[in-house]
Amino acid sequence: MLELIDGRDQATPVHIPRPVPVTGRDDPLTAVGAIVDDVRLRGDEALIEYTQRFDGARLTPALLRVDPEEIERSRKLVRPELLTALEVMAERLRATCERQLPETWIDERGDERVGELVRPLLRVGVYVPGGRAAYPSSVVMAAVPAAVAGVEGIVVATPPDGRGDVPEPVLAACAVSGVTELYRIGGAQAVAALASGTETVRPVDKIVGPGNVYVTLAKRLVQSWTGIDVEAGPTEILIVADGDADPRVTALDLIAQAEHGPHGCHALVTWVPELAEQVLELMDVEVARHDRADDVENALIEGGRVVLVRDADHALDTANAFAPEHLQLDFAGAADALDRVRNAGSVFVGAYSPVAVGDYVGGTNHVLPTGGSARWASGLGVADFVKRIYVSSYDKTALQRLAPHIEAIAEAEGLSGHGRSVRARLDELGPFLP
C-alpha cells in the first residue's frame, strides 16, 4: 500500500515524488475561464444557472445571500459540544493572531522621517468547500485572522446542498468567527462573483481559502484584479520518526491525512528499518477499520511513502527539500531540531502533537502552503489581511544631503527629470525653462 524508498546510500536529500493528477480530455482552465467571463457579464443570472447545474439548487437573487438571522439562529441548532468546540477553536486562533498583528511605525531620523502605515483590507472573500462534507473549520481558520486584522467585510461563499441550504455547522462557524456576509454559491462561479461583483455580491479586495482544481484555477484567473492567497493543492504530511515512535500511531497519522482525498502525499521518513516494517504491516489492518476504507486505501496507494534515510540529519535535509504542508517530528531531541527546519507549512513536535490538533484547536492555522511552496510561502495569518503603506517626510536639509545621490542614479538610468524635480525644490535650477 505504501511505496518503500531506500535512500540510505544517497549523499543528498532523498527525492520524495508527489502524485501527479491525471486530467481528462477537457481543459479545466478553458472551462473555468468561460465561467469567470460569464459571471462578469451576466452577474446573478449566471450564478443562479451554475448553482442549479452544479449543485442542484434552485435559487433566486434574493436567496443568494443567507439571512444574517439564519446565521445567528444556527448557534441553537448545532450540538452544544460542537458550538463549544468552534468557540474554543476561534478563541485559541484569535490569541495567536493577536500576536501576529503588525504595527504602524515612523522612524524619526533627525531631519527625515521614514516608516510604514499598516492598514487592513476593506473586504475579503473566504471560499469554504462543500459537497461531500461540511467544513466549519475552514470558516474559522480564514475569518478569525481577517477579523483580528480589522477587516470590515468578511464575506464567505460556500456551495449549498440540493435544497439550497448551507450546513448548520458552517453557519455556526460563521456566527462565532465574525463573518459579515454569507452567500450560497460555490465553485469557479463563486470566485468570479467575489472578484468582480454582481447585482447581489459586492466585490472583495482579496480571496482566500481552499477549494478544488476549478476554484484554484478561478483564483489564478482573477488575480489580475483581486488578491489571492497561495494556491491550495492536495494535502501533505511528512513524519520524521525514530525507533521510539509508536508504529500504530504513526500509521494512523498517515491514514488521517489520507482522509482528505486523492493526489496528496503521506510520507514517513525514518532511519529505523524496524519502524518502517512495522508501519507497513499495520497499514492494511488500520485502513480496513476505516469507514471510508476504499477512498483512504486509494489515496495511500497513490501518495503513501516510507523513506529510509541514514540518520536524523539526513531525514531533516530530506524534509526541507520536500517542504511539506505538515511536518511531524516524533524522535528524541525533536524540539532541539527545530533550528534545522527551514521549509514547512506547520511543524508538530513530539509524540502528543498530531496534525489533527492543528487542524482544529491547536491555535495555529490549517490553511497552509502545499506542493513545495513552503519554500517561499507561509500559512494564512493576519499579515494576509493587511497591507503596508510606506510613508516618508524630508526637511530641506535632508533633501540637500540626498540630492547628489538621486542625481547620480537618475543620470545612470537616463531619467533626468528625477534630478530636476529635486533641484527645483532646492532653487538651484532657477525659473522654469521650457
> What is the domain class of 3-14+233-378 according to CATH?
alpha beta
Q: Tell me, what's the pLDDT at 131?
A: 75
Beta strands 123-127 and 386-394: pairing type? unpaired
Q: With both helix axes pointing from N to C terminus, report the angle between 416-425 and 396-412 in degrees, rounded to the nearest 10.
A: 160
Looking at every residue in the chain, the average pLDDT score rounds to 95
Beta strands 3-6 and 206-208: pairing type? unpaired
Straight-line distance from the first to the last Cα atom of the chain, in angstroms, rounded to the nearest whole number:
79
Q: For residue 312, what is the enclosing H or E element?
A: helix 312-322
Closest C-alpha to 341, from 320, 325, 371: 320
Q: Tell me, what's the pLDDT at 167?
A: 96
Compute the distance between CA of residue 146 and CA of residue 35 in angstroms, rounded to an integer. Answer: 28
For domain 43-102+121-228, give the CATH number: 3.40.50.1980
Q: Tell me, what's the pLDDT at 432?
A: 44
Compute the distance between CA of residue 122 and CA of residue 19 in angstroms, rounded to an integer. Answer: 38
Q: Which three cell numbers stand for residue 252?
A: 494512523
Instruction: Give the domain ranges of the chain.
Output: 3-14+233-378, 43-102+121-228, 395-434
Fold matches, 3-14+233-378 and 43-102+121-228: yes
Compute the distance between CA of residue 380 and CA of residue 147 in angstroms, rounded to an integer. Answer: 13
Q: 394 has which bridge partners?
A: 112
Catalytic: 418?
no
Q: Tell me, what's the pLDDT at 428?
A: 58
Compute the distance between CA of residue 377 and CA of residue 369 in angstroms, rounded to an integer. Answer: 6
User: Using an 8 Å Cβ cutoff, are 220 and 231 in contact?
Assistant: yes
Task: Please list the alpha-helical segments (H only) found in 106-263.
Answer: 136-149, 168-177, 187-196, 213-222, 247-258
Q: Tell me, what's the pLDDT at 49?
A: 98
Q: Which three cell numbers stand for residue 254?
A: 498517515
User: Using an 8 Å Cβ cutoff, are 318 and 309 in contact?
Assistant: yes
User: Using an 8 Å Cβ cutoff, are 11 and 165 in contact?
Assistant: no
Tell how far CA 352 is from the center of its chain. Answer: 25
Tally Cβ neighbours within 10 Å of residue 274.
10
Average pLDDT, 10 consecutive residues per value, the chain (434 residues): 94 94 71 97 98 96 97 96 98 98 96 98 96 90 98 98 95 97 97 98 96 93 93 93 98 96 95 98 96 96 97 98 98 97 98 97 96 96 98 96 96 95 79 44
Catalytic member of 297, 314, 325, 366: 325
Q: Which three cell numbers stand for residue 263?
A: 493526489
* 71, HSE (Cβ side, Cα atoms, 13 Å): 21
Tally Cβ neighbours within 10 Å of residue 335.
10
Compute the distance between CA of residue 75 and CA of residue 114 in angstroms, rounded to an integer. Answer: 47
Compute the distance between CA of residue 373 and CA of residue 362 in angstroms, rounded to an integer. Answer: 23
Give 366-381 pLDDT, tens digit per residue: 999 999 999 999 999 9
Catalytic member of 326, 366, 418, 428: 326
pTM to 2 decimals? 0.93
* 169, HSE (Cβ side, Cα atoms, 13 Å): 16
Q: 182 has which bridge partners?
A: 156
Q: For residue 297, what is the enclosing H or E element?
A: helix 293-303
Q: Tell me, what's the pLDDT at 230?
A: 83
Compute the distance between CA of residue 252 and CA of residue 265 in angstroms, rounded to an integer. Answer: 15
Give 169-213 pLDDT, tens digit per residue: 999 999 999 999 999 999 999 999 999 999 999 999 999 998 888
Catalytic: 3?
no
User: Using an 8 Å Cβ cutoff, are 207 and 195 in contact?
Assistant: yes
Q: Quick check: helix, strand or coil at residue 327?
A: strand
Give 84-143 pLDDT, tens digit per residue: 999 999 999 999 999 999 999 999 999 999 999 999 999 999 999 997 789 999 999 999
The type of residue at 129 is P
Q: Which three cell numbers stand for residue 130?
A: 462543500
Task: Please list the alpha-helical segments (H only) found in 342-426.
Answer: 355-360, 396-412, 416-425
